[in-house]
Structure 1
Amino acid sequence: MNRVGTHFFVATVLFFALPSIAMPNDQVPGAPQTSPILIRGAVLHPVDSPVIVRGTILLEEGRITAIGKHIESPKGALIIGAKGKHIYPGLIESYTDLGLREISAVDVTVDRSELGTRNPNVRSWVAVNPDSELIPVARAGGVLLAHVTPGGRFVQGQSAFMQMDGWTEKEMTLLAPSGLCVNWDAMQPREKDSTKQAQQRDEKWQEFDEWVEHAKRESLRQADAADSISSDLRLEALMKVIRRDVPLVVSANRQSSIEAAVAYAASHKLRLIIYGGYDAQACAELLKHHDVPVLIAGTYRLPLRRDDPYDSAYTLPERLRRAGVRFAIGGEAPGYPGGASNVRNLPYHAACAVAYGLPREHAVRSITLSPAEILGVADRVGSLSVGKDATLIVADGDILEPQTNVTAAWIQGRKVDLSSRHTMLFEKYKQKYQSGN
């Protein structure tokens, strides 16, 4: 077969094979809210205030307009009885590639990183696939919001805070950019005597430093010239960090990486967020002093070192709480098989922390209001508060318990379809076995 024929054959095979590999989901995004919705009789978990038993919440035009014990029903309101149910703010996955990765073993379904290691201009939200099969699965677990981040080995690119419902990435985006992601662990040599790795680290440091200094000069030039446009997209991304419009979101687990990142951010007066944070408790005073929050990369993690206690990852949230360090818990632990497909387990990562000492109310906060505060969207989401988006879930029990099911959900007042490939297959094979086949 000649080269043209080979290319045509491969293209034909891919055309027919790909739909079976990565079919889009069948869920239709929710329609905008057109009439008031009153949900009453439920246990309300506002997060930023005490739990309300047999409470009522009112949703109007996509916002929460009232919450309490006794609320009058507006004319034409849809009244929903929720006796015995629990209502929480939509859960927030604080660091994920959901929408950027479908099947890890099939590279054509993965768009989480660009070629090269220096990509500050990359914008994660433009690559998000609204039809990902993993999004409905995450929603069914209560995860309605996510901090979507690009991957990579050094300067990864810009992240976005997104809603898990919408026809397009534009409809899904709540805040973009929400951070500039850098893999700081990649700059630290694994062995103390590794001269080559230390040299590579120094080269990366120098290059990143030059970029930052260049961005500072360009920012000053624009201020003097009343010019806010740069033709260099990489530089423009860094300038947002320099101006403190956007935080630097640094992947760092080891103490040396965390300390180096904090020192660098402090010297350049940058806003900083640590992702991973395995050794964060060892740097607690430093993190507290500079008010650097930590996005914990899940609790389902193995110890980083051979001599670490087996429960190091399980107890990290409680150790940070006691140390006074702000934190949120994620559900997509690095290196854990499946990646974005594990976002559905977010509440159980928080539940694991409860089993190892973290108070339950702090666990719920760590997957709702805390990530919203850290990522700069707490004025819109994260708690059941008057004026915030009507983004919430109704569950038939404690959201941290595995047997609990999410029975209803709204994003900005739009009713969300909670079916998914999981529920479709459940119904399919339930019929099969009921028929005796």
Structure 2
Amino acid sequence: MKSVFNYILIAFLIISGNSFAQQTPASEQSEAVTIVGATAHLGNGEVIENSLIIFENGKLTQVMDATTTKMQYRGQIIEAEGKHVYPGFIAPNSTLGLVEIAAVRPTLDQDEIGEILPNVRSLIAYNAESKIVESMRPNGVLMGQIVPRGGLVSGTSSIVQFDAWNWEDAVVKEDDGLHINWPEAYSRGRWWRGEDPNLKPNKEYTEEIQKLADFFNEAKAYLAGDQDYTNLPYEAMEAVFSGDKKVFVHVNGEKEILDAIQFKKDQNLDGFVIVGGYHATGVARQLKENEVPVLVNRPHSTPDMAYEDYDYPYKLAKLLQDEGVLVGLESSGQMERMNTRNLPFYAGTVAAFGMDKEEALQLITLNTAKILGIDDNYGSLEKGKSATLFISEGDALDMRTNRLTRAFIDGREISLESHQTELWKRYSEKYENQETKESE
């Protein structure tokens, strides 16, 4: 009994030690803000070397070249010569705010029991005070799509901004998409259990796809009829069939992608997005013809196949873009919540392997906003859009120079402090003091 109590106490201390609230969310914008002299990277491929940016009431009212205008400055003036301004970066396909401590089960809200769960909504489980979410902001990642995991149909995602009191304040687009984990046509045996590790056909592949098709057809029949009972999974599909909710299919293989595109046609689905798409280059023509965009997984990985170029993951986004496919970057995988803060540096890697720097920037700004359906208000610095942006001392896609000095979400100036920045300052002072003593 004493042993059980000790385990409970340790778990409580771990949770309480990591549950301190994040920085207090910013208040609504109270006066206009004018940023002068910065190099503005608009997120749509354009750059203004000497920019004038004005925003008030959370909206951009002017984005122009300061050398060609006599526009009167308004409100608070930020002199930003030598610095760079960017739209806030957007992290799609993320589980931020759904898991705080992987080793503590009560903090895991990314997966629910069941196989087909379109009615599961990630938004209501989102923890706006997550310390991990807070650590995104110093790198310019200011928004994200919060996605459930697991099963054949994981559930419904929502898009949030990363400076809020609760999920109600955080939401940017509620229930934006349904997430499907497409079955694999081939599988490998578990070598650690003595199984053949080579690729072999998945005998249940066709059955799994049929199960998915049956569910979609049953949901259509339910919604078309006059039922005297309520079926929540079927009810959740109404927005999918109307096109108000996008369908995100997590899939990597060529055959699987082609089968997913056929499923899109059979079910007459709009807003269809491939997530992952590791082998999508082989079916890029079909993706373009069917107007299916791809959220490519982070490039910091090794090739899956022995015959692939060593730098294939680095240049995958460019290869697809060159074929006319709309591409964005996502960061799921091992330690994905922590690694999401590296999103701008993933884009920097893509630029280092052939893509134009401003086009690489679009992978985490306007392209992603288009794929998520929020480009009317986010993703680029354009008049009338949200003033969600940040100022950096250098190139935001370079981890050496991306040092934020100011950041705004919907015009509200947010804190850039986090547990990590506090530790950085603490230990910087420690070693600075140590160096001073040694030099005396």
The TM-score normalised by the length of structure 2 is 0.90
Answer yes or no: is the 8 Å Cα contact 2:45–2:359 preserved in 1: no
Q: Which residue of 2 aligns with 1:139?
A: 137
Q: Which residue of 2 aligns with 1:255?
A: 254
Unaligned runs of 5+ in 1: none
Q: Which residue of 1 aligns with 2:192?
A: none
Larger displacement relative to structure 2 (131-140 or 361-370)? 131-140
Answer yes or no: is the 8 Å Cα contact 2:376–2:385 preserved in 1: yes
Q: Which residue of 2 aligns with 1:100?
A: 98
* Equivalent residues in 2 for 1:206-217, closer than 5 Å: 206-217=210-221
Measure, in 2, the Cα distance between the counterparts of 1:230 and 1:262: 33
Q: Does 1:347 align with 2:352?
A: no
Aligned-pair CA distance for 1:9: 5.8
2:250 is paired with a residue whose SS is strand
1:287 is paired with a residue whose SS is helix
> What is the total number of aligned residue pairs between the two structures?
421
Aligned-pair CA distance for 1:251: 0.6
Q: Which amino acid aligns with 1:64?
A: L
Aligned-pair CA distance for 1:432: 2.9
Answer yes or no: is the 8 Å Cα contact 1:351–1:400 preserved in 2: yes
Q: Which amino acid aligns with 2:58?
A: G
Unaligned runs of 5+ in 2: 189-197
Q: Which residue of 1 aligns with 2:320?
A: 320
Measure, in 2, the Cα distance between the counterparts of 1:363 and 1:101: 29
Aligned-pair CA distance for 1:44: 1.2
Aligned-pair CA distance for 1:23: 2.4
Measure, in 2, the Cα distance between the counterparts of 1:71 and 1:181: 49
Q: Which amino acid aligns with 1:166?
A: A
Q: Which amino acid aligns with 2:351?
A: V
Q: Does 1:72 align with 2:67?
A: no
Answer yes or no: is the 8 Å Cα contact 1:145–1:163 preserved in 2: yes
The TM-score normalised by the length of structure 1 is 0.91
* Equivalent residues in 2 for 1:180-199, closer than 5 Å: 180-184=178-182, 186-190=183-187, 197-199=202-204
Measure, in 2, the Cα distance between the counterparts of 1:297 and 1:112: 19
Measure, in 2, the Cα distance between the counterparts of 1:66 and 1:193: 56
Q: Which residue of 1 aligns with 2:385?
A: 388
Deviations 1:393-428 (A, max 9, x none): 111111111112111110001111001111110122
Measure, in 2, the Cα distance between the counterparts of 1:277 and 1:403: 30
Q: 2:25 aligns with which of 29, 32, 39?
A: 29
Measure, in 2, the Cα distance between the counterparts of 1:397 and 1:166: 27
Measure, in 1, the Cα distance between the counterparts of 2:9 and 2:126: 26
CA 1:50/1:339 → structure 2, altered by over 3 Å: closer, same or farther? Answer: closer
Q: Which residue of 2 aligns with 1:40?
A: 36
Measure, in 2, the Cα distance between the counterparts of 1:256 and 1:78: 55
Query: Over aligned residues, Cα RMSD in angstroms?
Result: 2.2
Q: Which residue of 1 aligns with 2:225?
A: 221
Of all paired residues, the percent bearing the same amino acid is: 33
2:278 is paired with a residue whose SS is coil
Measure, in 1, the Cα distance between the counterparts of 2:135 and 2:152: 30
Deviations 1:98-157 (A, max 9, x none): 111223333333221112222211111111111111112111110011111111132111
2:50 is paired with a residue whose SS is strand
Q: Does 1:274 align with 2:274?
A: yes
Q: Which residue of 2 aligns with 1:18?
A: 15
Deviations 1:186-240 (A, max 9, x none): 3434169967x423x3332232212111222233337xx9xxx983221122222
Aligned-pair CA distance for 1:435: 4.2
Q: Which amino acid aligns with 2:41?
A: H
Q: Which residue of 2 aligns with 1:298?
A: 298
2:237 is paired with a residue whose SS is helix
1:388 is paired with a residue whose SS is coil
CA 1:28/1:268 → structure 2, altered by over 3 Å: closer, same or farther? Answer: same
Deviations 1:254-276 (A, max 9, x none): 11111111110111111210000
Measure, in 2, the Cα distance between the counterparts of 1:236 and 1:188: 30
Q: Which residue of 2 aligns with 1:124?
A: 122
2:225 is paired with a residue whose SS is helix
2:382 is paired with a residue whose SS is coil
Answer yes or no: is the 8 Å Cα contact 2:177–2:248 preserved in 1: yes
Aligned-pair CA distance for 1:433: 3.1
Q: Which residue of 2 aligns with 1:240?
A: 239
1:32 is paired with a residue whose SS is coil
Q: Which residue of 2 aligns with 1:203?
A: 207
2:37 is paired with a residue whose SS is strand
Measure, in 2, the Cα distance between the counterparts of 1:127 and 1:97: 10
Aligned-pair CA distance for 1:365: 0.7
Measure, in 2, the Cα distance between the counterparts of 1:109 and 1:307: 41
CA 1:80/1:181 → structure 2, altered by over 3 Å: closer, same or farther? Answer: same
Q: Does 1:51 align with 2:47?
A: yes
CA 1:17/1:384 → structure 2, altered by over 3 Å: closer, same or farther? Answer: closer
Aligned-pair CA distance for 1:367: 0.7
Measure, in 1, the Cα distance between the counterparts of 2:375 and 2:126: 23
